[in-house]
Structure 1
Amino acid sequence: MTGQAQNPHHVVIVGAGFGGLETTYRLAGAPVRITLIDRRNHHLFQPLPYQVATASLATSEIAWPIRSLVRNRPEVTTLFASVKGIDAAGRRVLLEDDTDVAYDTLVLATGARHAYFGHDEWEPFAPGLKTLEDATTLRRRILVAFERAERERDPARRAAWMTFVIIGAGPTGVELAGTIAELARSTLPPDFRSIDTHEARVVLIEAGPRVLGGFPEDLSAYTLTSLERIGVEVVLGQAVTECTADSVVYGGKRLDTRTLIWAAGVRASRAAEWLGAPADRAGRLQVAPDLTVPGHPESFAIGDT
């Protein structure tokens, strides 16, 4: 019994998002020690990065240090590290600094990343919104666009700076489009002298037949009406075929813009690749009903992993 107390079952959790933290909290009081690994030192409240991107909230209002969230849990060790692989046979998580962490049970809660559907070269021109860094990058781009428009004398170039294009009409795309429109029409007008921010164009492009395609049709219809009421131009059934630093092409048409935002899709992390386990088309691990990874009963995958 003494040996068991000194070496309790070791649970390694990769990812300190909602899934990873919830697992940590649910294990409180269990006879285990926990190592929580994340490549960032903060937990992000994932529904609200768009509020930071549109200057409605400060970063400190949606992100909290992971260590402070588990400071009263002496059995939990937090590691600020990036995972590069898993040695499933040896039950070790491999880190990018060439160290590793042994585990008895592994919980993969690594979430998702942007999916550009085979066009990763578009990412520099159309950044997505998954991290706090993404949110601050987009906030800078959006606000600088208005500043550049304020000083631009050429009407065509000014119009390009004041055209904001969001690709993908899922929840993130809808939230961004609506909030940028409100920013231009309600918040910013008193702050500028040479431009009328009401003239900003917010264009939401969706390849599918409706906004919020994964939601009930009545909610989709209500959302479309609400967006159009505040001036968002919604383009449906037209896929984007090109993104550059100063334009986007969709439905055979080219639109000049200096601000492109990607909200069209996500793919899972590399967890399936790490384990050499089956995955679906989005890269998510295929799991058993108890969330264990087939062939790896000591490993669990949760959330978007």
Structure 2
Amino acid sequence: MTRKRVVVAGLGDSGILTAMRLARHADVVGISAKPALVSGQELGLRLSRPDDWSRDYWIAFDRFRGLDRVRTVHGRLTGLDPVARRVELTRHDGTRNHEDYDALVIATGVANGFWRRPALQSAADVAADLRAAHDRVAQAESVVVIGGGAAAVSSAANVARTWPRTRVDLYHPGERPLPAHHPRVWSRIRRRLADLGVGVHDGHRAVVPDGFACDEITTGAVHWSTGQEPVTADAVLWTIGRVTPNTGWLPSDMVDDDGFVRVTPDLRVPGRPGFFAIGDVAATDPLRSSARNRADGMLAHNVRADFDGRPLRNYRPPTRRWGSVLGAQPDGLEVFAPDGRAFRFPAWSVDRILQPVIVRRGIYRGVRP
């Protein structure tokens, strides 16, 4: 039987893991605007310790043993022809090309702030972005972090820990940060922030300047629609969760009103045979949680089952966010369960067991030095 061809559009965490699982059963082509895995995780670590972040979250594709059977293409997706079953793209060298498929997995993720951009980048571009953001924060005497999600909380904590003389304040619009997590999580994190000297200010909703995409670190005054006096800082981090799905290359009938890919519970795109979506780009649930809950195994099963005419499995999303909030700290890594209970990996185990054994060998099926 002729092997089917699967195109995985987007090689972030979800796309890579799905491509790895499918590569043993089909000819897989992965398309990425970046030349490597450039994870959107752990913004606080990325800002404060970019070298440490790069070691674990910026990994060239040819280092993944599980991608040895996957042909990776460095390019930007520009269009889709559902009838001809092909995606159109512009490669990094400027040439235009297309890739044919029997099944298409959409895993293009979202744009979110200055750290998750959909632009076609080289390794040098990625390195320049990392260094510029780090240097900007390192030179600041005052930092304001706007937002109440994990990226905002992590940024405030890690900046305060790395530069203890810098004044760091976290402004968020609700009664408490981390509203999608169990309340126990914030109770624990709040004490951490207090110990680090981070000022936490509830009920502040920022006025976003007209035309500003929240995709850069700014300087100066921040105004509030909730009536408080403006505040100023040398560096303002806009981590307000204003995400934009990377779906401009898709037909409009495949996305919802907010631009996310419509999916059924089995992660298929309705009305499009052989189309699937996973990760932050897929409208699975209000938290779009398939990226953080290892749905790659289920999706790979469903793609194969769809080829064979077998029943597909449904994705069941959790009701709360879970996982790490602050990232690895000098005293270890704290991971929260959906019920808010904390589990700690001792500091020595992060570099000796968690990353090399559980993540690189277990999850990613081997990463070359």
State if a TM-score over 0.5 links the two structures: yes
- Asked whether the equivalents of residues 44 and 159 of structure 2 are also in contact (C-alpha less than 8 Å), the reply is no
- Asked whether the equivalents of residues 43 and 64 of structure 1 are also in contact (C-alpha less than 8 Å), the reply is yes
C-alpha distance in structure 1 between counterparts of 2:243 and 2:258, whole Å: 5
- Asked whether the equivalents of residues 272 and 285 of structure 1 are also in contact (C-alpha less than 8 Å), the reply is no
Percent of pairs identical after alignment?
Answer: 26
Deviations 1:149-173 (A, max 9, x none): xxxxxxxxxxxxx110111121111
Q: Aligned-pair distance for 1:49?
A: 4.0
C-alpha distance in structure 2 between counterparts of 1:276 and 1:242, whole Å: 27
Q: Cα distance 1:226–1:68, how it changes in 2: closer, same or farther (>3 A)?
A: closer
C-alpha distance in structure 1 between counterparts of 2:11 and 2:65, whole Å: 11
Point out where structure 1 has 5 or more consecutive residues left out of the alignment.
Answer: 115-126, 146-161, 186-196
C-alpha distance in structure 2 between counterparts of 1:238 and 1:35, whole Å: 45
Q: Give the aligned partner of residue 202 of structure 1.
A: 168
1:240 match: secondary structure: coil
Q: Give the aligned partner of residue 102 of structure 2.
A: 104
Q: Aligned-pair distance for 1:70?
A: 4.7
- Does residue 170 of the first structure (1) align with residue 156 of the second (2)? no
Aligned length: 257
Please tell me whether Structure 1 or Structure 2 has the larger radius of gyration of its CA atoms: 1
Q: Give the aligned partner of residue 129 of structure 1.
A: 115
Q: Aligned-pair distance for 1:33?
A: 0.8
Deviations 1:231-257 (A, max 9, x none): 111111111015664221124422121
1:228 match: secondary structure: helix
Q: 1:247 aligns with which of 180, 200, 221?
A: 221
Q: 1:47 aligns with which of 16, 41, 45?
A: 41
Q: 1:67 aligns with which of 57, 62, 66?
A: 62
Q: 1:184 aligns with which of 138, 152, 163?
A: 163
- Asked whether the equivalents of residues 247 and 258 of structure 1 are also in contact (C-alpha less than 8 Å), the reply is no
C-alpha distance in structure 1 between counterparts of 2:193 and 2:74, whole Å: 40
- Does residue 17 of the first structure (1) align with residue 12 of the second (2)? yes
Point out where structure 2 has 5 or more consecutive residues left out of the alignment.
Answer: 118-125, 210-217, 282-369
C-alpha distance in structure 2 between counterparts of 1:109 and 1:37, whole Å: 10
Q: Cα distance 1:90–1:46, how it changes in 2: closer, same or farther (>3 A)?
A: same
C-alpha distance in structure 2 between counterparts of 1:70 and 1:275, whole Å: 34
Deviations 1:243-289 (A, max 9, x none): 66422112442212120112111424232761323544543212012
Cα RMSD for the two superposed structures: 2.3
**Normalising to structure 2: TM-score of the pair?**
0.64
Q: 2:180 aligns with which of 211, 214, 235?
A: 214
- Asked whether the equivalents of residues 78 and 249 of structure 2 are also in contact (C-alpha less than 8 Å), the reply is no
C-alpha distance in structure 1 between counterparts of 2:83 and 2:172, whole Å: 44
- Asked whether the equivalents of residues 209 and 237 of structure 1 are also in contact (C-alpha less than 8 Å), the reply is yes
